[in-house]
Amino acid sequence: MTLRAGIVGCGGISRAHASAYANLDGVTLSALCDINADALNARADEHGVSARYSDYEEMFEKEELDVVSVCTHAPLHGPVAIAAASHGVNVLSEKPLSVDLETADKMLAACNEAGVRLAVSHQFRFTPLFQEAKAWIDAGRIGEFRSIREVGKGRPAGFELMEMGVHYFDGMELFLDGIEWIHAQITYDGHEVGVQDIMTSRELCKTDKRDNGIVAGDTMLIHIKGTNGGYGVMELYPRKQTQGWMMGPHILGSEGQLMIRPNPDTFVDELWHCPFDVSFPTHTPQWEKVPIDPERLRIGDGLWGRRQSIWSVRDMVTSIKEGRQPQLGGSAALTSLECVFAVYESHFTGTRATLPLKERRHPLVNRLRNTSGNRES
C-alpha cells in the first residue's frame, strides 16, 4: 500500500518534508496547501504535485490522505492537526507542537479519539550520529554518564526556547533516558524577568518573524535532571553567529566525552570523541572523529548526512505501515513543549518544575491575566 501524504504550509521547512515524502519508499506526496500562492506553486512545481489548495479543510475533505505534515508557524499547528484528525489523517507536526499545553492536550485528545497518530518532528534523535552517540553511552564507552550541554544559536532566549530549545530538550530526553525536573533562571536586558517582560515572540525577536506565541527573556540558564542520574545544561543568550550555527550536544562521561557538531565547511554533522572526562587545552588534539559508515546515511535514493527531516518523516511513515506509534507519538509528542513551560514555571516560582506539569495553563499568559485582574480589582 502506498501512503498518500499532504503538507500544510509550503515555506522553509516544507522543503525537507516534501523531499522526504518524494524520496521515501511506500509513500507519495499527493497534495499541498498554502495561503500564499507563490509558496504553494513553487513547492508543488518542484515535485510535480497537481492537487494544490489554499484551504486545509478543503484539502482534507477532497484528498484521501494518510498523513499530513503541518509546516505552518506554531499557532496553526493545533487547528490544522485537529482538522486532520477529524478526517482520519495521521499528523506529523513541526516543532514546537503548539504555543501552549492546553492546545497540545486538545491535539492529542483529538488524534486519540480519531484513532490517528500525532507526532512532533524532532529529527535529530533519529539521525545515525545521535543513534551512534546513544549506542556509545549505552555500551558504557564514555564511562558513567555525567552531563549534556547545549547552547542556543544566538536569538533572544524566549524565542530560541521555542525554536532550538525544544530540539535540545528532545535530545536531552534521549540521552538522559527521560527528564525528571527543570530549574531555570531568566533575565531580560540584564535584569531578572518579571511579568512586565512578558511579550509576543515577534516583539522579542526582530530578526526572525516566526510566531512562537507569548515568551519572555533574552537570556536563560536551564538545568535539567535526567532519569539516568545525569544532568543537562542549556544556555540561551544573544550572540553573533561568527562561526555558523555551531550547535549540537556536548556529552561528558566519567571516561570520555562526545560532541556532535556541524563541520563549519560542509555543514554536515560529525560525531567526535575524546578519551578524557574533562577538557584541557593540552588534551584537545586527542579529539577524534568517529567514523560513520556512509551506508547508514542512505535513505531512499540519497545520502542524508545533513540534519534533514527525512529521519522523522520516515519514522512516521513506517509507524503507519507497521501499525505502531511513532517514537515521538502519543504523550511523547508533548514532552519537549512541557519542558518549555517548566522553564517559565521554575523561573517564576523559584523552584524546580517536575515533569509532567500538572498546571496546563500557559504560565506567562496566566501571570499576565492575574496581574491585569489585580489591577482591575
Ligand X SMILES: NC(=O)c1ccc[n+]([C@@H]2O[C@H](COP(=O)([O-])OP(=O)(O)OC[C@H]3O[C@@H](n4cnc5c(N)ncnc54)[C@H](O)[C@@H]3O)[C@@H](O)[C@H]2O)c1
Give residues in contact with ligand X (CB under 6 A): 8-14, 33-36, 39, 56, 71-74, 76, 94-95, 121, 123, 163, 210, 309
Minimum separation from the CB atom of position 243 to ligand X (A)? 20
CB 159 within 8 A of CB 205: yes
Q: Return the C-alpha cell found at 199.
A: 511579550
For residues 68 and 274, which CB has a smaller minimum distance to ligand X in the complex? Answer: 68
Antiparallel, parallel or unpaired: β 231-236 and 250-253? unpaired
* Cβ proximity to ligand X, 33 vs 142, nearer residue: 33
* Cβ 268 to ligand X shortest distance, Å: 15
Q: Are strands 145-151 and 231-236 parallel, antiparallel or unpaired?
A: parallel
Please tell me the number of Cα atoms within 13 Å of 276 on its side-chain side. 11
CB of 246 to ligand X, least distance (A): 16
What CA–CA distance (Å, rounded) separates 271 from 288? Answer: 9
Q: At what angle do helices 166-175 and 128-138 cross, to 10 degrees?
A: 30
- Rounded to a whole number of angstroms, the minimum distance from the CB of residue 340 to ligand X is 12
- Report the half-sphere exposure of 366 (CA within 13 A, side-chain side): 12
> Residues 347, 193: contact at Cβ < 8 Å?
yes
Nearer to ligand X (CB atom), residue 209 or residue 358: 209
CB of 138 vs ligand X, minimal distance in Å: 25
Cell numbers 489591577 correspond to what residue? Answer: 375
Q: Which is nearer to ligand X, 94 or 100 (CB)?
A: 94
| Residue matched to cell numbers 577538557 | 279
C-alpha cell at 114: 480519531
**Sign of the dihedral through C-alpha 38, 42, 45, 50:** negative
Distance of closest approach, residue 74 Cβ to ligand X, in angstroms: 5
CB of residue 355 vs ligand X: minimum separation in angstroms? 22
Specify the residue, 63 or 187, whose C-beta has the smaller distance to ligand X: 63
Task: Extract the C-alpha cell encoding 182.
Answer: 527543570
| Closest C-alpha to 77, from 158, 13, 137, 24 | 13
CB closer to ligand X, 4 vs 17? 17
315, 82 Cβ separation under 8 angstroms: no
Instruction: Please say which residue, 39 or 297, places its beta carbon nearer to ligand X.
Output: 39
Beta bridge partners, 185, equal 221
The least distance separating ligand X from the CB of residue 44, rounded to whole angstroms, comes to 12
Residue number with the smallest Cβ distance to ligand X: 11
Rounded CA-CA distance 366/362 in Å is 6
Judged by beta carbon, residue 154 or residue 256, the one nearer ligand X is 154
